[in-house]
Amino acid sequence: MEKKSGIYSLAASIATSIVIVLLFSILAAGKVSTNPEMYKTIDIYAGMVYVFVLSMIVSASIWPGIIEKKMKG
């Protein structure tokens, strides 16, 4: 049971991070299109990596507790 909860929490963390990165890229693309002199596309790519790493750290600490609670209850 513990092995499955680890897989589920990893999948949930990755899915959450991908959703957050997609939201970031949409908002960043809007910002780049309004001010192309100040921001470049490489800024979006670097920001996406940064947001992915940070969101994985946060979601990897939140999801295991939620999933274990759901599997026990």
| Identity of residue 18 | I
- Cα-to-chain-centroid distance, residue 13: 7
pTM of the model: 0.85
Structure confidence at residue 33 (pLDDT): 86
* Domain extent listing, the chain: 2-72
Q: Token digits for 23?
A: 């939201």
- Cα-to-chain-centroid distance, residue 38: 25
- For residues 31 and 4, the model is more confident at 31
Grade residue 1 by pLDDT with cuts at 50, 70 and 90.
low
Structure confidence at residue 2 (pLDDT): 59
The number of beta carbons lying within 10 Å of the beta carbon of residue 14 is 16
> Is 63 within 8 Å of 9 (Cβ atoms)?
yes
Structure confidence at residue 21 (pLDDT): 97
- pLDDT tens-digit map of 8-66: 999 999 999 999 999 999 999 998 888 888 888 888 999 999 999 999 999 999 998 89
